[in-house]
A and B are shown apart, each in its own frame.
Chain A
Amino acid sequence: MATVTYDKATRIYPGTERPAVDKLDILIEDGEFLVLVGPSGCGKSTSLRMLAGLEDIDEGKIWVGDRDVTNIQPKDRDIAMVFQSYALYPHMSVADNMGFALKIAGVPKAAIRERVEAAAKILDLTEYLERRPRALSGGQRQRVAMGRAIVRQPQVFLMDEPLSNLDAKLRVQTRTQIAALQRRLGTTTVYVTHDQVEALTMGDRIAVLKDGILQQVGPPRELYDSPVNVFVAGFIGSPAMNIGTYKVDAGSALVGRARVPLSRDTLAGLREEDRNAVVLGFRPESLDRAAPNADGAIPIEVDAVEELGSDAYVYGTVPAEAGASKEIHFSSGDAQMIARIDPRDVPRKGETVWVTIRKGEQHAFSSATGARLDKK
C-alpha cells in the first residue's frame, strides 16, 4: 500500500508545444480511489500512463510512497494495470490462471497458493479454484481476470476506461463491483474515465482535467456543490448545470425579469474585465415552479419533458423577449434551460412554465476568467 504523488509532472509530446499534461500536482492517499475525468484530449489517460511508466515524464516527478519512480521501468514500479490483457487459458485451472504470472516473478509455490486463495476469497471464487474457466459464468471469468492483478499485490492499481467496451447494463454492474472490490482490498487505485457519472459514483475523490491542466480535485460532493470554475460546473452533474452570462445591476444579476442578488464575495470579486457581467450557474434541481407573476419568475417554453419516474426534467428555451441571457457562453445548450419538476405535474410540449431560482443556490463565476467568485 502506498500514496501516489504527482509533483509538477509534465508530459510534452515530441514535436508539440503545449504540454499534454502540464505541471500536474496531486497527492493520492494510501488506499484512496482517485478518478481522473475530463473530455477527450484533456490529458487524463496520459497522466495515468505517466504513472504506469508508459509515458515519459518530461518535467517534475512521480512518487509511489517514498520512492521516486520517474525513471523506473513499468514492471519495476509495483503497479498493476487492470484489464489490460485478460486472456484466460482454457486448459489451466482457475487457480493457475490467477497465479501463473507469479511463477515468472519467482514467487515460491506455497506463497503463490496462499495469495491465490486470499484473492479467491475476496472475489468469491474459492469453490471454483480447481475448475477450468470453461465451467464459469461470464461474470466469474471477469473476476478471475481481476484476480490475476490482485495476486500480484501491487502498491497501486491502474484502470484506463475499463468499462468502455461493455454494454450499459453490464457497465453499471461492473462499476459497482469494482468500487466494492477496491474498498475491500484497500489498494490505492487510479481510474480514468470520460464519464462523469462513473466518476461521481466510484471515486473517493475526483480530479477534473482540461487541456492538460488540473482544474479541481476533491470529493464528488465538493465538485458538485462548489465547482471552482465554469468548466467543472458544466462538466460535473447530469443533467448539466444551466449556465449563462448576465448583466449586473445594483448588486444583482438580471436574469430575464428576475433580479438574482449576488453575494458579497461575488460583488467584491468582479473586475473591470468582467464588463459588468457575471456568469451564473444553477442546477436543474435548484429551480422551483412559480406563478407567472411571481417575483423574478423566468419563463421556459417547453421543448421536451424527460420523465424518469422519480423525477422529471423540462428541457426548454427562455424566450428572447423575456430578456434572456445574451451571449451565453461556456454552456453547451445556448439558451436552453433544464429544470427538474414534480413528475406528477408535467407540462406538455409547447406550454410555458415559470421558475424561480432557489435562494442561495446559484453559482457565480467571473465572465472574464470563468473562475468561481462566491465562496462556499
Chain B
Amino acid sequence: MPLTFKGAADPGLIALPWYLPLGQWPKETIAALPRGISRHVVRFARLDDKVLAIKETNPRIAKQEFELLRKLGKLGAPCVVPLAVVTGRQDALGAPLEAALVTAHLQFSLPYRALFSQSLRAETVTRFVDALAVLLVRLHLIGFFWGDVSLSNALFRRDAAEFTAYLVDAETGELHETLTSGQRNHDLDLARTNIVGEMFDLEAQEHLHESVDPLAVADRLVARYGELWHALTETETFTSNIPLHIADRVKALNNLGFDIGELDMREAEDGKAIVIRPKVVDAGHHARRLMRLTGLDVQENQARRLLNDLDEYRVIVAPPGEEESYAAHQWLTTVFEATVRAVPRQFRAKLEPAQIFHEVLDHRWFLAEAAGHDVPMAVAVASYIKNILPERPDEKAVLGLTLAEMSAERTAEMTADLPALTEEVLTREIPEFDGDNTGAWGRDDGYGDSDDDDDAPVQLVRKTTKREGPNRTPPSATTDAS
C-alpha cells in the first residue's frame, strides 16, 4: 500500500521522514519527548513553523481516534485538533511500519508534569483537578465516554487564575447519544484511580509537596464533578413566580460559564407546579459574549476577566449611553490591544496575550494596593513588563523535558505495552511563529511597536494607540492610554 495521508492536506507533511520508525526520527525533526504517559510511541515534531504531535499506532486505532477527535471538535469539545492519519508507511527495505496519527500541538498548553520542576503544591493540584472536572462534565454532556481519564491524558492551559483542561488522548473514548450513569460513574472511578496513581508517582519521585493528600485530591475531583453535573442537569419544581425562577437558573448557569441551549418545562402530575430541566447546556458563556463584542477568541475565565475590565471601562471611561458594542471596540483598541502590543517580541512566547492581560490586571491591583491609589493601566503594563514578565518561562510550546531535567532524571513514561525507551536525544525548542489562537497579535499586521524594529510596516490607523517602547521608558513616564 502506498504512503497515504488522510485529513489535512499540508504538503509539508510529506517531507517528514515517514520511512523511519518514530523512535528513530532525527533530532532535527523532533522537538521534544512528551511528558504524559502514553500507550504508544509519541513524539513532537517540527514542521516549518508548526509543532505536531505524532503518535504511532495501528491503522484502525489511528483512524478511529482521528474521526472521534474531529467529531468532538465539531461538537465544541475542548480537545486537540487532529490533522492527519498516515498509513502505508514502509522503511527503506520495504517492511511495513505502523500508522501514525498527527495532531496539532495546542499552543501555550502545559502537561501537568511540566508545572512543577520542584514540587507540585496543593493549590496547583486543586486547580488542575477542578479543570479536569469541568472537562469531564463537558465531555459527558455531549455524550463522550472517555474510558481513560487522567491528568496525563489532558493538557492544561492557563485561564486567568484557573486552568482549562483539554482532551489529548481519545483512544479509549466512545461517543454516545447520551451517557448512562454507569458510564459516567465508571469514568469518574477511573479518574480517581488514575489521579491517585499519578500523585503517588510524583510522591515516589519526591515531586509532590507534602501538603498534598493524593486521596483527597481524587475525592475533590469526584466532588467537583458531582456539584457541577448537578447544577447543570438538576430538575427543579416551582409552584409560583416561574419566570423569576427560570431567570435565576439561567443566571446561575451563566455564572458557572454555561449557556442554556434548550430548557425542558412540563407541568407536574397534579398540574400545580412546573418542572424545569436544562436539556442542552453549552460551555463558554463568557467566551462567547466576549467574542461577539470584540472578536477575541479566548478561554472562559480569561473572557470573564476581560469582560469585567470591559464593563468597568464602559462605566468609567466610555461616554454614558454609549452602545455596548461601540464601547467594546474602543476598549479593544485602546486598552486590550495597547496592553498586549506593549509586550516586546522576545517575550511573546511566554504567555498568551489574554493571559498576559489578566496578569497585568492582577499586577495593577498589587501596585495600586502598594501605592494606596489607583495606578493607570500604562504604568501597570510597563511595570509588569519590566519586573514580572522577564522572569516568566516561555510557555508557548512546553513539550517535554529539558536536557538538564532529562540527564538528572531520565524519566521515561511507560505503559504496559510500550517498548523500553532507548537512548533519546532531547531538545526543547521554542519555534518562532506568529500565529496564535487569540488573534490579538498573531495577524502579523505590523502593529508597529517601537520594539519591533525588524517587523512589517506600521499600520497608520493604529498610530493613535501607539506608545513608547516600555523597555526604554520608566513607568512613571508612560502616557496613559486607558
Q: Could you tell me which A residues sit within 8 Å of B by CB distance?
A: 13-15, 52-56, 73-75, 84-92, 96, 100-101, 103-104, 133-134, 137-138, 141-142, 144-145, 164-166
Contacts and interface: CB of A to CB of B under 8 A. Distances in A.
A15 B177 CA distance: 9
Contacts of B150: 85, 87
Contacts of B60: 164
Contacts of A104: 192-193, 196, 215, 218
Contact of A100 (B152, B172, B200): B200
Interface stretch (B22-30, B181-189, B323-331): B181-189
B201 interface: yes
Contacts of A145: 415-416
Contacts of B182: 52-56, 73-74
Nearest to A81: B186
Nearest to A170: B417
Contact of A54 (B148, B183, B196, B418): B183
Chain A CB within 10 A, most for which of B148, B200, B205: B200
Contacts of B193: 85, 101, 104
Contacts of B194: 85, 87
A90 B414 contact: yes
Interface string B27-58: 00000000001010000000000000000011
A84 B204 contact: no
A15 to B, nearest CB: 6
Contact of A90 (B58, B218, B411): B411
B190 interface: yes
B415 A87 contact: yes
B61 interface: yes
Contacts of A89: 37, 197-198, 200-201, 204
A88 B411 CA distance: 13
B186 A100 contact: no
B148 A84 contact: yes
Interface of B: 37, 39, 57-58, 60-61, 145, 147-148, 150, 152, 172, 177-178, 180-183, 185-186, 189-190, 192-194, 196-198, 200-202, 204-205, 215, 218, 411-420
A86 B200 contact: no
A280 B414 CA distance: 53
A54 B192 contact: no
Contact of B61 (A85, A100, A144, A165): A165
Contacts of A165: 57-58, 61, 417
A89 B415 CA distance: 8
Nearest to B57: A165
B196 to A, nearest CB: 5
B414 A88 contact: yes
Contact of A74 (B37, B186, B204): B186
- Pick the 10 closest A-B CB pairs, nearest first: A89-B201, A145-B416, A91-B204, A53-B182, A91-B205, A86-B416, A74-B186, A141-B416, A75-B189, A85-B148
Contacts of A90: 201, 411-414
A71 B39 CA distance: 33
Most buried by A among B152, B205, B417, B419: B417
A251 to B, nearest CB: 50
Nearest to B61: A165
Given A53-B182, A100-B197, A85 B414 contact: no
A129 B194 CA distance: 20
Contact of B416 (A54, A92, A144): A144
Contacts of A56: 180, 182
B200 A96 contact: yes
20 contacts: A15-B177, A54-B180, A54-B186, A56-B182, A73-B181, A74-B182, A74-B189, A84-B147, A85-B190, A86-B416, A87-B152, A89-B204, A133-B414, A134-B414, A134-B420, A138-B419, A142-B417, A144-B416, A165-B57, A165-B58
A96 B218 CA distance: 18
B411 to A, nearest CB: 6
B415 A75 contact: no
A135 B13 CA distance: 36
Nearest to A135: B420
Could you say which of B58, B145, B181, B197 has the most chain A C-beta atoms within 10 Å of its C-beta?
B197
A91 B202 CA distance: 8
Contact of B412 (A14, A85, A134): A134
A19 B416 CA distance: 37
Contacts of A75: 185-186, 189
Given A84-B147, A141-B417, A165-B58, A74 B200 contact: no
A133 B413 CA distance: 10
A14 B177 contact: yes
Contacts of B416: 86-88, 138, 141-142, 144-145
A137 B414 CA distance: 12
Nearest to B420: A134
B186 A85 contact: no
Contacts of A138: 416-420
Nearest to B207: A91
Q: By CB atoms of chain B within 10 A, which of A104, A134, A138, A142 has the most?
A: A104
Given A85-B172, A166-B417, 20 more contacts: A14-B178, A54-B186, A55-B183, A85-B147, A85-B190, A86-B415, A86-B417, A87-B197, A88-B415, A90-B201, A90-B414, A91-B204, A92-B204, A96-B204, A100-B196, A100-B200, A101-B196, A145-B415, A165-B58, A165-B61
